[in-house]
Amino acid sequence: MSVSVLDIQLESVDRAVAIDVGTSLLQNDPDSPFHSVVDDQDMIDERCLLILADIEGPELRTTARVGFCTVRVCDEFVELYRFYVAPHFRRLGIARKTLALLSEYVSNEGFTDFYIEATKKEALEFWVVAAEDFAVFPAGHMKWRLSFAPEDLQSREQS
């Protein structure tokens, strides 16, 4: 029996708690591309959401905080600034399920899309797989807009 993810939730907790949990996850991953969970820029509404997964495997059933995503919310757009899943929880479909939840979160903010930036080849390969359920549009050098607007998804399917 392999490990499987039964459920995923985005957990909105106190900012300090989210940063502590995210920092702890990063400290256990020497290969992480991130040095911090947030940048703490005063001009930007930067929110950190924890990824909570219900996981089942051989002799194991647990709910754990397995990653985080940091979003920047502006008047005109939302940017998925950091997206992190701890190494031992990767390749279980967590990213794809989390992106679906993130689209609900962004929708509640009044948006139908969000932006990402992938500056490394590995990141781009990750996003190609993780964003399969979105319409993806170039938005500048190494930047993309992931849309979950019905008209964008419909036009993508017709292409």
Taking only the tens place, the pLDDT of each residue in 24-79 is 999 999 988 888 898 876 667 889 999 999 999 888 899 999 999 999 988 888 99
Taking only the tens place, the pLDDT of each residue in 76-135 is 889 999 999 999 899 899 999 999 999 999 999 899 999 998 888 778 888 888 888 898
Sequence-distant contacts of 19-22: CB under 8 A, at least 24 apart: 19/48, 21/50, 21/65, 21/68, 22/48, 22/50, 22/68, 22/70, 22/84
What would the DSSP string read from start to end of 90-153?
Answer: TTSSHHHHHHHHHHHHHHHTT-SEEEEE--SHHHHHHHHHHTTTSEEEE-STTEEEEE--HHHH
CATH number at residue 71: 3.40.630.30
Write out the H or E segment, with its range, that includes residue 22. helix 15-27
The C-alpha atoms of residue 70 and residue 49 are separated, in whole angstroms, by 6
Boundaries of domain holding 43: 4-158
Side chain identity at 19, as an amino acid letter? I
Write out the H or E segment, with its range, that includes residue 73. strand 60-73
Instruction: Specify the DSSP class assigned to residue 75.
Output: S
pTM as predicted = 0.87
Count of domains for the chain: 1
